[in-house]
Structure 1
Amino acid sequence: MPTASLLHRFLDELMPLRPRAVWAHGSFAGGDYQEGRSDLDLIAVLPGPMRPATVRRLVGLHRSLRAVPLAGKLHCTYLTPATLEDPDRSHLTWAHGRVLRRPVTPVTRRELHDFGRVLHGEPPAGLLPAVPERQLSDFVVRDQRDYWRPAVDRARLWRQDVWVDLGLLTFARATVTLRDGRLISKREALAELPALGAPVEVVEDTARRRYGAAPAPAGGDWLVRRAELTRAYLAPAIDALVAAYG
């Protein structure tokens, strides 16, 4: 199985850096993983500190994996014991074939505690602080209000599959988290969308592309209509969610 081979190679290459833990979150941990479609989202806790020589070794490690099947979908954020606690702090991350810096958000932290998959070393509960309910809900509201709501007004973005899919699915997941206090997968979020009033033809389009056989590329007229339907739904839906829970 390509995913298993990739993880074995990655962990083998990482061991000289003596990681205290390597965890999977997202779809691979939550049971919604589709090989070849889903990203493989990982967190590694290194002994620290993150010196320039360590960064160079990590970059070299990921570059060495480029020829391995599915390596482009492997994303890993690197923490140290001294940088674990702050959910707003950005950490060295390899994603989309390059080095980034991004935080390990309260949602990701809750995922790790609730259903994180231990690939090596200590479990999340032994290293990562618990996520208070208020911290989780505040983050979810802020993400909808400050990131997704302004994005809805940028019309050109919404002709892309990724914006339509993630915009709708993130909204559904945010709604369930705020309403019920639990995290759900993207597949579960897709099932929630009709009851939340999302446009049925857009939800069906997303389901076909994400979980069905690969469809023919969408035509221009549908891309325009899909974008209009999605934006017309999300703008008031996000406003209402933020007003209710913000």
Structure 2
Amino acid sequence: MLAVSPGCSPCPRAGGARALAVPARPRRLPAPLSVDSDPPASFPADRRDHQDELPNAARWRPESHVERDEPQRPAGKPSAATTLTASATQDPSSIDRAPGPPRGRKHHYGLQEPAMKHVLTLATVARVSVEETCATYLELADRHAPGLVQGLYLQGSIALGDYRPGTSDIDFVAVVSGPPDLRALEVIHAGLRRVHGRTCFDGLYVEPGDLRRPPSARPLGPAVHEWRVQPSSAFERNLVTWHVLAQSGVAVRGPAVGELGVHTDWPALAVATRDNLAGYWTRWRDVAARGPVGFSAQGTCWGVLGAARVRHTLAAGRVTSKTEAARYALETYDERWHRIVREALRIRVGGPALYRTPFRRRADLIDFLGVVLR
């Protein structure tokens, strides 16, 4: 959720309705690329090109994504072609400085042209990884709880076009036929973890009518967070999830998102978001100023991009992504704060550190939060 989980993923590891194609049989893939080895990329933009080749595909119209042609290659071998994230192509401000030589001419915000090449990734790796995780989940659900999962939808970073393999979670909303058996859910998610345990599959279970009403008007229900099944949880059961789903949710199984009648209420969400800045983020800044979290790379990424994302959501009138929030911060706040913003983005996508010590970085983190929270 935006209010609680807007920054880098806490999982411990280190435009309209759209549909995601799921292979009939999941294949085992190598472990996702590490953030420390290869800079991750957003969820790929080439799904539209393949929707006639895969089952259950339809209605893929990502207007904000950029596509690249992929050359033919022998089956089973990874492609050397790569796909550039939309934000990287449309505005270099969304990309941090790339690691190592060669250096090229500068774009605005002082970013080097070769930085763009380091945000390029194997599009097939990210796309197939998500699709296979979903396919494995549905296979397990249909085996252990037949008829339970009527719809599966992806929200969060995948829906917002900011998915980063090895960094982002896969955030789901499962529409179920009735109250699920908790033991069956534990078996399903334990089995999924054994196959795809490097990426958390986080989300909640709702009945068909739940999405048409305000989340606060419905009782708590089952959810999964960091592989733990919670029988009665408020996790992700909030207006942020409802808005992201309605705004750009990805349909894996079930009707298109536009046919679900998802409840939205921007004035109520705006009030809750302002309260989140005054409450959660103010307390978080105070804790970071006194404790060790402010010295960590994860804390820096969480604080800078998380608070900026909340502020950007209010300015944009829609739920925005972390990469968009970084660009917004670079365009909105004084150049004095560009270094800490780029450092937070660098932690998220990879690249050389912009600070020699964590002490100066924490000082800039705390001061930047003070500006955002005014």
Shorter-chain TM range is 0.7 to 0.9
> What's the secondary structure of 1:67's corresponding residue?
helix
Distance 1:111 1:72 in 2: 20
Task: Please say if residues 65 and 71 of structure 1, whose CA atoms lie closer than 8 Å, have aligned partners that are also in contact.
Answer: no
Out of 263, 269, 283, the residue aligned to residue 150 of structure 1 is 283
Task: Please say if residues 36 and 70 of structure 1, whose CA atoms lie closer than 8 Å, have aligned partners that are also in contact.
Answer: no
Moved more, 190-199 or 121-130: 121-130
Higher relative contact order (CA 8 A, sep 6+): 2
> What's the secondary structure of 2:196's corresponding residue?
coil
Alignment partner, residue 135 of structure 2: 8
1:42 to partner: Cα distance:
0.6
Alignment partner, residue 206 of structure 1: 344
Question: TM-score, normalising length from structure 1?
Answer: 0.84
> What's the secondary structure of 2:305's corresponding residue?
helix
Task: Please say if residues 309 and 321 of structure 2, whose CA atoms lie closer than 8 Å, have aligned partners that are also in contact.
Answer: yes
Deviations 1:187-215 (A, max 9, x none): 111111123327222122122221234x5
Alignment partner, residue 178 of structure 2: 48
Deviations 1:189-245 (A, max 9, x none): 1111123327222122122221234x57x98x722221221111212421x2xxxxx
Aligned pair count reads: 233
Alignment partner, residue 230 of structure 1: 365
Task: Please say if residues 20 and 122 of structure 1, whose CA atoms lie closer than 8 Å, have aligned partners that are also in contact.
Answer: no
**Identity %, equivalent residues:** 26
Mapping for residues 105-120 of structure 1, pairs under 5 Å: 105-120=238-253
Compute the RMSD of aligned alpha carbons.
2.4
> What's the secondary structure of 1:182's corresponding residue?
coil
Distance 2:296 2:139 in 1: 37
Q: Call closer, same or farther: CA 1:24–1:32 in 2, change over 3 Å.
A: same
2:198 corresponds to 1:65: no
Alignment partner, residue 157 of structure 2: 27
Could you list the runs of 5+ residues in structure 1 that have no partner in the other structure?
241-246
1:76 to partner: Cα distance:
2.2
Distance 1:112 1:183 in 2: 10
Question: TM-score, normalising length from structure 2?
Answer: 0.57
Distance 2:150 2:196 in 1: 26
Task: Please say if residues 151 and 253 of structure 2, whose CA atoms lie closer than 8 Å, have aligned partners that are also in contact.
Answer: yes
Distance 1:136 1:178 in 2: 9
Distance 2:313 2:193 in 1: 36
Larger gyration radius, structure 1 or structure 2 = 2
